[in-house]
Amino acid sequence: MATAGSSVGLGNIWRFPVETGQNGGAAFIILYLACVVFLGVPMMTAEFIIGRRTHTDIASAYEQLVRQNPSREGRFSWLTKRLNKLWPLTGYAGMLCVTLILSYYAVVAGWVLKYAVDAASGSLATINDASQHFSSFSSSTWGPLVYSLIFILLTHVIIQRGVQNGIERFSKVLMPLLFMLMLLLAIGALTMPGASRGVDFLLHPDFSKITPSTLLSALGQAFFSLSIAIGCLSTYASYFKPDVPLMKTAANVVGIDTLVAVLSGFIIFPAVFSVDGVSPDAGPGLVFVTLPSVFNTLFSATPILGYVFSLMFYVLLVLAALTSTISMHEEVTAFFVDRYGSSRRRAATYMTVTVVVLSSLCALSFGPLADFRPFAGRGFFDAFNDLTAMWIMPLSGIVLSIFVGWRLPQWLVVEELTNKHTLRYPRWLFVSFFFLIRWVAPIAIASIFINELLS
């Protein structure tokens, strides 16, 4: 549940419907499903191998694996020796990445928390201009700061309680609650007047809409949605017991992540198609601008239903965001605990203070610091997003696939996949795994990297 929660986040419930709406609906979903099977499962399994094999933080894990598995002398030994010094940098890059992501993710999570509070108080139903409401709040000084701080502190409280008493205990509650809310919302959405058009948009593919850009969007969504290659999954895998089947666990996590994404489509698109004049390709403003207007229009005759539906929806987003912020926070906290022997409370405090400072800069990027753009014309929020999404994540993904596919001894990988040969799998499964991790994954991720740079 905790590992699934690491993958499930706003990317599933917010970004997935946006990508689906902008790329033709069902045709995009088919491509996305293929990508999570052939890219997501093997890449997640690769990250599990690193974490479970070493039982330590992501930076120490690379160092330990390189040290315990020296390269064989050969024609290119000089290159191999130099690479051995570079592999561990991937772990440090992952920690930098999650710190920056958590800093701006906390701001968005704060916006979501504000809308959940507005929904609970009933003020969301009285908004006349949703665009103006969101713009006014996000560009203010204290509101975004306070709500992002609340979210970070809530994450901190869970993290400092430890893995079993904090992360695992809360995940056992948060994940079932998240699914329960999604099912209730999906059932409610499917009863709306325009639901059939929304379902048709999701289930009847128009393959004429598939372009190279659509494929790259599906690849990118699969990669980013599953939180691959930034170290969160490896950190959680370091807590796995020896008998955990890695490939099966990866398939289960990917399955849960995908189910949440598809369910979010069945919540959002029936609602969107129920209101005339609202387009399914509303873009990033879907959650904060389009949907509040949709909810108010749909439930104008029955305000109590609108109150319940909007409250459940934004509480759902809060829960999804929280499961992701927990995993990102835990990655760096685990590093300080493992590497320097810090107490969990102190290590969590280091991370929390750092994120509070950086997230404050991100929150103010839409208000008082809107004109302060020190990063090639970009503010803190956009710069952190670009650095992580366009550079660190894809490059770390390529390194991960090469490291597990080519650098680690094949016997070690097979030993982890089979739990030291106690599990029996057909030979074609190993052949497929090594082919996907050695060839398909790095080429696919490189395509995403190049597309992000050129877009």
d(CA 435, CA 269): 37
pLDDT in tens, 357-399: 999 999 999 999 999 999 989 999 999 999 998 899 999 999 9
Range 207-211 contact pairs with CB under 8 angstroms and sequence separation of 24 or more = 207/27, 209/23, 209/24, 209/25, 209/27, 209/28, 210/24, 210/27, 210/31
Spatial distance between the Cα atoms of 33 and 233, rounded to a whole number of angstroms: 20
Confidence label for 74 from pLDDT (cuts 50, 70 and 90):
low
The pLDDT value recorded for residue 279 is: 73
Nearest to 272 by CA among 263, 280, 283: 280
Of 119, 98, 455, which Cα lies nearest the Cα of 287? 119
Which of 112-147 are b and which e, b meaning 16 or more Cβ less than 10 Å from the residue's Cβ?
bbbbbbbbeeeebbebeebeebbeebbebeebbbeb
Q: For residue 290, which of 18, 11, 12 has the smallest C-alpha distance?
A: 18
Q: How confident is the model at residue 293 (pLDDT cuts 50, 70, 90)?
A: confident
Residue 302's pLDDT band, with cuts at 50, 70 and 90, is: confident
Residue pLDDT, tens place only, 138-150: 999 999 999 999 9
**Distance between CA atoms of residues 225 and 219, nearest Å:** 10
What is the per-residue pLDDT for 212? 86
The angle subtended at Cα 348 by Cα 344 and Cα 352, nearest 5°, is 170
Provide the pLDDT confidence category of residue 73 given band limits of 50, 70 and 90: low
342 pLDDT exceeds 80? yes
On the question of pLDDT at 424 being above 90, the answer is yes
pLDDT for the residue numbered 454: 82
What percentage of the chain exceeds 70 in pLDDT?
98
Rounded distance between C-alpha atoms, residue 319 and residue 254, angstroms: 18
CA distance linking residue 23 with residue 29, whole number of Å: 9
Q: Could you give the 3-state DSSP secondary structure of residue 375? A: strand
Average pLDDT over residues 222-247: 93
Q: Work out the mean pLDDT of the chain and round it to a whole number.
A: 91
- pLDDT of 392-407, one tens digit each? 999 999 999 999 999 9
User: In the prediction, which pLDDT does 263 show?
Assistant: 93
How many domains in the chain?
Answer: 1
Can you give the CATH number for the domain in which 190 is found?
1.10.4160
Per-residue pLDDT at 22: 84
Mean pLDDT across the stretch 217-236?
91
- DSSP three-state, residue 378: strand
pLDDT at 283 over 60: yes
**What's the whole-number mean pLDDT along residues 65-87?**
75
Residue 295: pLDDT band with limits 50, 70, 90: confident
CB atoms inside a 10 Å sphere around CB 296: 19
In the prediction, which pLDDT does 393 show?
Answer: 92
For residue 350, pLDDT over 90 is answered with: yes
CA-atom Rg of the chain in angstroms: 22
167-191 pLDDT tens trace: 888 898 889 999 999 999 999 999 8
**Has residue 113 got a pLDDT over 90?**
yes
Look at 31 and 224; give whichever has higher pLDDT. Answer: 31
- Domain assignment of residue 386, given as a range: 2-454
Residue 284 has pLDDT above 90, yes or no: no
Per-residue pLDDT band for 9 (boundaries 50, 70, 90) equals confident
pLDDT higher than 80, residue 104: yes
